Amino acid sequence: MGFEHMFGPLVQIVGSPYLMGLILLAIPIGMFFGAVPGLGGKLGVVLLIPFVFGMEPIAGAVFLIAMHSVVHTGGSIPSILFGVPGTGPDAATIVDGYPMAQRGEAGRALGASLGASGIGGVIGALFLAAMLPVLRPVILAFSPAEFFLLAIFGITFIAMLSGRSLIKGVSVGLLGLMVAFIGLDPHTGTQRYTFGQLYLWEGVSIIAAVLGIFAVPEMLALGVKGGAIADAPKKVAKYDLAQVLQGIGDVLRHPWLTLRTSLIGAGIGAIPGLGGDAASWICYGHAAQTCRDGKFGQGDVRGVIAPETANNSKEGGSLLPTLFFGVPGSSGMAILIGAFVMLGIQPGPQMALTGMDIVWALIWTLALANLLSVFMFVAMAPTFSLLVHVRGALLIPFVLVLSFLGAYLSESAWQNMGLLIVLGALGYFLKKYGWPRPPFVIGLVLGPIAEDSLHKALAIWGPTFFLRPMSLVFIVLIIASIGYYFWQRTRAGGIQVHSDV
Amino acid sequence: MSDGRTLTTAVMLAIFAGMSALALGFPAKAGFAPLLVGIPASLLCLAQLVIDLRRKRSSRAAGPGSPETGEENGETVITPREWFMFVWLAVFAALIAATGFHVGGPVAVFLYVRFGERERWFNAIFAGLGTFAIMWLVFTELLELSLFDGLLLPALLR
């Protein structure tokens, strides 16, 4: 891994007005999806997919990663100003950010959030870069047996962490796997669940399925609820630039806390499924435990710094399993995998051999987007604070049209619009009755990997592949994660780790 | 089994059971993975169905004032407002499928904003024209994508 390999993509990005323009365009879009409560990064990626059709793989990936990496930067705006989290992981910012705003320090809280997000994002990218030399030999040592169990581990883990019901989470993950089996069987050429439909021979479009299971139910729910997207007070806390700069200064005055929580966030992000809420709450808890002189919960700036660094640094960490194992670090990353595949980038172990230029381009994009978002945030935060009052009536029809467009464009098949409606209706009821939807995407993405690896492992070792040393490690991890779930359920008053359903 | 919560579980069970049954007809190698997933999934959904039915029975025993009853707990399968949204979803699909994205998309947006949400004419026309502008300028001109023209419109224009 030479100097040229590492910095070549950076020079390529910075030297290209087109790529820099895409990053600069993606940042306010990402902040928009973060700042409007209920939208979030997953929906952002899903809805931007139609816009990256026809782009070069690197350009499309840079655009999507830049957008996704700054979602939580925007998400802190409604958290601090209104006490309404822009996205799930931003909820931890409310605990101290909102009291700060109430006592007239909204600008300072926003500045702290901004500085922490920017630095956290950059450290997350550096964490990913630092892990590459360690991870590469591990990835290359994995056999089909390990990949099969890794896929099962990913599904189990995410299913358990994304909802309150183990049965529902796992079932939805398995539904994703079943949908992934639709199409021609790669080993025998048998048609599975195609019902004679030619367009299903290649399998269900991940993009159409993701749009159906995420975007459509969100819009249906918004339409059923009616009114503004979030119930936020009309009055916005006032602040000035001096306060924002003071907040950024606060981050620099607490360098060790910033560094620690960034690294913890990145580490948590690297564990499939654990990112998001867990990263921000664990880092908040870490700050509260280690800064004993603080008044956490009453407007301590360190209570803003800790979760915000974690929110952005976890993105770098969660790219690790996503890119190199094809196991999404989070549900947002699962959707990104779908988008990458559509762009012609196939995440998985081969990335370590042939795709390092893309990996480095994504690392630098993460760092650049987080850095540039600091300046954009200062300029645009007042505007973004108004987004919390956006009425669903104006958002719903446009998002629905974009969803139909994305479903159609994914395979240039109009039949995908039918699939969108069916999965949209199913997704709505799953959402309504507490069936977590992120495991569906994980199952859908991992289905082909799991099946292919299972067949290969059985062909090479037979059923004894379960007894290989690394297989046993994964089996222990799967059992441990199930044990963790039950331990978490029985633990009263602990941190509730679950993403949106 | 008239409540939405139980019905959703039953639908999930039916999906898994149906797909597992179909997998029995595949050649052994092709059916192996679907059965490996479908059978445990069916059992999980069956267990969830039992949980739902027990919860329903206990909430009935607790009486109508119980917090476990009501729409929140799935007593109403589909509310009128939900029907309203599903109908609009179908309208969007029908318009786009018939007349494509350039015509059907903006028209659907206009109709929803004006007649679905009773917004002002100006807002509805602005939303419709804005959608058309994005479809045409961004997707057709800038990204040079070939958008679906619809199943009906090309035949009518021919």
Q: What is the ipTM of this complex?
A: 0.91
Cβ contacts of B75 within 8 Å, gap of 6 or more: B3, B4, B69
Q: Tell me what percent of chain B is helix, strand and coil, each rounded to the nearest 5.
A: 75, 0, 25
Cα(A61)–Cα(A369) distance, integer angstroms: 13
Angle between helices A356-384 and A241-253 (to 10 degrees): 140
Residue of B16, B30, B92 with shortest CB distance to A178: B16
Alpha-carbon distance of B6 to B22, in angstroms, equals 24
Residue B92 to residue A178, Cβ atoms within 8 A: no
pLDDT of residue A494: 46
A256-294 in b/e form (b: 16+ CB < 10 A) is ebbebbbbbbbbbbbbbbbbbbbbbbbbbebbbeebeeb
User: What pLDDT does A495 receive?
Assistant: 44
- Give pLDDT tens digits for B105-116: 999 999 999 999
Residues of B in contact with A177 (CB under 8 A): 37
Task: Report whether A275 contacts A135 (CB < 8 A).
Answer: no
Chain B residues inside the 8 Å CB shell of A181: 33-34, 37
Q: How far is CA A97 from the centre of its chain?
A: 23
Helix or strand run (H / E) with residue A92: helix A91-102
Sequence letter at residue B9:
T
Q: Parse chain B into domains and list their residue ranges.
A: 4-73, 80-157
Residue of B nearest to A185 (CA): B30
- Residues B89, A175: C-beta atoms closer than 8 Å: no
Q: What is the pLDDT of residue A40?
A: 76
How many separate helices (H) and strands (E) can be counted in chain B? 5, 0
Residue B11: is its pLDDT beyond 80? yes
pLDDT of residue B38: 95
Answer whether A51 sits within 8 Å of B89, measured CB to CB. no
How near does any CA of chain B get to the CA of A290, in Å? Answer: 41
Of A216, A224, A404, the CB nearest to B96: A404
Q: Consecutive 10-residue runs of chain A (501 residues): their mean pLDDT? A: 77 92 92 78 82 86 91 82 73 84 83 89 88 78 83 72 76 92 89 89 86 88 76 63 85 91 87 68 83 77 90 85 79 81 82 83 90 82 65 84 88 89 94 87 83 89 86 86 76 47 36
Predicted pLDDT at A381: 66
Phi, psi of A184 (to 5 degrees): -75, 130
From the CA of A273, how many Å to the nearest CA of chain B?
Answer: 21
Nearest chain B alpha carbon to A433:
B5
Subunit contact A425:B5, Cβ cutoff 8 A: no
Residue type, A31: M
Give contacts of A 143-182 with B, CB under 8 A.
Answer: 165, 167-168, 170-171, 174-175, 177-178, 181
Residues of A in contact with B28 (CB under 8 A): none
**Helix, strand, or coil (residue A228):** strand
Residue B103: band (very low, low, confident or very high) from pLDDT cuts 50, 70, 90: very high
Query: In A326-468, which residue ranges form alpha helices assigned H by DSSP?
Result: 331-343, 351-354, 356-384, 392-411, 416-432, 438-461
Q: Do A394 and B40 touch (CB under 8 A)?
A: no
Interface contact A178-B37, CB threshold 8 A: yes
What's the N-to-C CA distance of chain B in angstroms?
Answer: 51
For residue A343, give Cα distances in angstroms to A4, A63, A258, A419, B64: 25, 12, 35, 21, 54
Per DSSP, helices labelled H in A142-197 are: 144-161, 166-180
Angle made by CA atoms A427, B56, B77, in degrees to the nearest 5: 40
**What are A463's two structure tokens?**
């059923």
How high is the pLDDT of residue A498? Answer: 43
Exposure letters A312-348 (e unless 16+ CB within 10 A, then b): bbbbbbbbbbbbbbbbbbbbbbbbbbbbbebbebebb
Characterize the bridge pairing of strands A191-192 and A183-184: antiparallel
With CA atoms as reference, report the closest residue to A146 among A473, A486, A370.
A473
Q: Do B11 and A185 contact (CB within 8 A), yes or no? A: no
pLDDT at B69: 47
Residue B109: list chain A partners with CB under 8 A. 397-398, 401
- Kindly determine whether residue A181 and residue B96, on different chains, have CB atoms separated by under 8 Å: no
Q: Do B113 and A394 touch (CB under 8 A)?
A: yes
Spatial separation of the C-alpha atoms in residues A272 and A438, rounded to whole Å? 12
Contact of A18 with chain B, judged by CB distance below 8 Å, is answered with: no
Is the predicted pLDDT of residue B68 greater than 50, yes or no? no
Chain A 215-254, residues with CB within 8 Å of chain B CB atoms: 216, 220, 223-224, 226
- Please tell me the predicted confidence (pLDDT) of residue A1: 56
B84 contact A CB<8A: yes
Query: SS3 of B149, please?
Result: coil
- List the beta bridge partners of residue A391: A228
Q: CA distances (Å), A344 to each of A56, A60, A74, A176, A364, in order?
A: 9, 10, 29, 22, 20
Give the residue extent of every domain in chain A: 3-490
Q: Which residue from A minimizes the CA distance to B97?
A: A414
Give the pLDDT of residue B108.
Answer: 96
Chain A: closest CA distance from residue B39 (Å): 10
Residue to mutate among A47, A171, A177, with most B CBs inside 10 A, is A171
Contact B96 A417 (CB under 8 A): yes
Tokens of A357: 């230029």
Distance of CA B59 to the CA centre of its chain: 29
H helices present in A187-240, as ranges:
206-210, 216-225
Cβ separation A178–B89 shorter than 8 A: no
Dig out the tokens for A282 from the structure: 């664990």
Does the beta-carbon distance from B113 to A397 stay under 8 Å?
A: yes
